[in-house]
Structure formats: C-alpha cells, structure tokens
C-alpha cells in the first residue's frame, strides 16, 4: 500500500527539509510545485507551454493549469508508490482535484500534515536565513559556516528576508491557505506537528503522526472497493 502526504506550513516552518527526508526514507516521490513546473517547462509539455505563456504575460498560473501539471506528474510510474506534496494544493479547487486524481490512482491514503510555527519564530528564522551566493543552497538550521556546504561559495543574507517582507509573505500565505486547511481539518488523517522543535524532534513526531494517520485512513478511493 502506498502513502501520500501533503506538507502544509508557512515559509520558514522547515517543511521542505522534512519533506525531502520523508521522501528519501520512505521511497516516495517528492513533488514541489516549483520543481515540477521547471521540469515541465524544460520538457516543453503542452500544459507547460500554456503556463509559460501566462507567466510571460505576467499572469498567475490558474488552478486548471496547475492541476494539469501536477496530474501529469502524479500519473507517471515513479509516483506509483506515493508522493510527498510540498506547495500543493494551494486552493480548495486544487485540493478537490487532488482527491479525484488520488482516487483515480488508487495508491494508498492521503495524510495531511500542518507544520505549525508561531509568527515571531518564523520571522526570527527567516530574517537570519542565509543562502549561497554561488549555487543558491540554503544554510541548514544551525549552520553558521561562512562557506557553502555544497560548493564552498560565500554564504550571504537573503535579500528579500527583512522583517517587513517576511511578515507580508506570512500574511499572504495564511490568507491563501486557510480555506485549504479548513478543507482538510475534519479528516481523520489530518495532523498538526509542532515545528518549533529541533528538526530531529520534528522528524520523530512526523514519523509517528504519519504512521498513526495512515493506519486509521480509509483509502482516498471510496467507491466499489468496499463491495469486493
């Protein structure tokens, strides 16, 4: 039985790092919308060309296009064992579409994780976040080295991470994702993790929560199976 996980949480909550670890340890495909969009553009898929035309006109990518891109990715063989979604769904329309896609794929339960971190802590984290000036790698939590762990480049403060910008990004995130959280909150597979803890603690809690949620889950596919 596969497993599908949605990682929700504001920028700076550390969900990207956790998503990567989970994907590695559980053999799941990590899907972040930024990455698959870039890949789709590279491959020049028809739907990616639609997305590119929109972006070139300075428009946001609409739900239908985003859903088509994610759907395309989810239907490939390497997503069969399950996926970890980071940055999707962003709207209720996307969440509804995802339910339909998962039902079609029939590959195990969907666990939704909300990584919660208080605003002051997020501001503190984001305002001290550093990035490699050569390769763009983010400094890991607690990494104080002046050189990039990947390429040895010079680590610098992220230009867009001053307090005001951070607060504005958080506000936008909360406004946009509240309806999606409400969409999932009532499900038996919805779990909240305290993202203020050290990354290893978060990882441990996540593992427990995901296993627990998956064990109470009915598969997303709700039709016919029960009758067999």
Active-site residue among 15, 105, 125, 191?
15
- Of 108, 81, 60, 84, nearest to 218 by C-alpha is 108
Residue 178 beta carbon to Zn ion: minimum distance, rounded to whole angstroms: 36
Distance CA 218, CA 205 (A): 22
Stretch touching Zn ion by CB under 5 A, among 59-67, 133-141, 158-166, 180-188:
133-141
* Residue 153 lies near Zn ion (rule: CB under 5 A): yes
Q: Is 135 in the site for Zn ion (CB under 5 A)?
A: yes
**54 in catalytic set:** no
**What is the four-CA torsion angle of 202, 208, 213, 215, rounded to 10 degrees?**
160
Within 22-152, strands assigned E span: 29-32, 83-86, 110-116, 130-132
User: Does position 156 bind Zn ion by CB under 5 A?
Assistant: no
Q: Give the gyration radius of the chain's Cα atoms.
A: 18
Determine whether 158 is an active site residue.
yes
Q: Is 151 in the site for Zn ion (CB under 5 A)?
A: yes
Interaction of residue 45 with Zn ion, rule CB under 5 A: no
Are residues 181 and 115 in contact, defined by beta-carbon separation less than 8 angstroms?
no
Active site residue 178: no
What residues are annotated to the active site? 15, 90, 129, 158, 169
Q: Give contact residues for Zn ion (rule: CB under 5 A).
A: 132, 134-135, 137, 148, 150-151, 153
């Amino acid at each position: 039985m596969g497993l599908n996980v949605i990682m929700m949480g504001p920028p700076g909550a550390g969900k990207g790092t956790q998503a990567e670890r989970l994907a590695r340890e559980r053999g799941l495909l990590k899907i972040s919308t930024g990455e698959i969009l870039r890949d789709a553009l590279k491959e020049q898929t028809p739907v990616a060309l639609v997305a590119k035309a929109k972006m070139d006109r300075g428009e946001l990518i609409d739900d239908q296009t985003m859903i088509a891109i994610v759907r395309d990715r989810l239907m490939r063989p390497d997503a069969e064992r399950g996926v970890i979604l980071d940055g999707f769904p962003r709207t209720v329309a996307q969440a509804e579409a995802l339910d339909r896609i998962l039902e079609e794929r029939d590959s195990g339960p969907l666990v939704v994780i909300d990584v919660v971190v208080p605003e002051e802590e997020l501001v503190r984290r984001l305002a001290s976040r550093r990035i490699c000036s050569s390769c763009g790698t983010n400094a890991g939590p607690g990494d104080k080295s002046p050189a990039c762990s990947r390429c040895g480049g010079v680590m610098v403060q992220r230009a867009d991470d001053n307090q005001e910008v951070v607060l504005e990004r958080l506000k936008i995130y909360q406004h946009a994702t509240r309806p999606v959280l409400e969409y999932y909150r009532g499900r038996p597979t919805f779990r909240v993790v305290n993202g203020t803890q050290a990354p290893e603690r978060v990882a441990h809690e996540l593992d427990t929560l995901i296993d627990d949620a998956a064990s109470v889950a009915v598969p997303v596919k709700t039709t016919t199976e029960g009758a067999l």
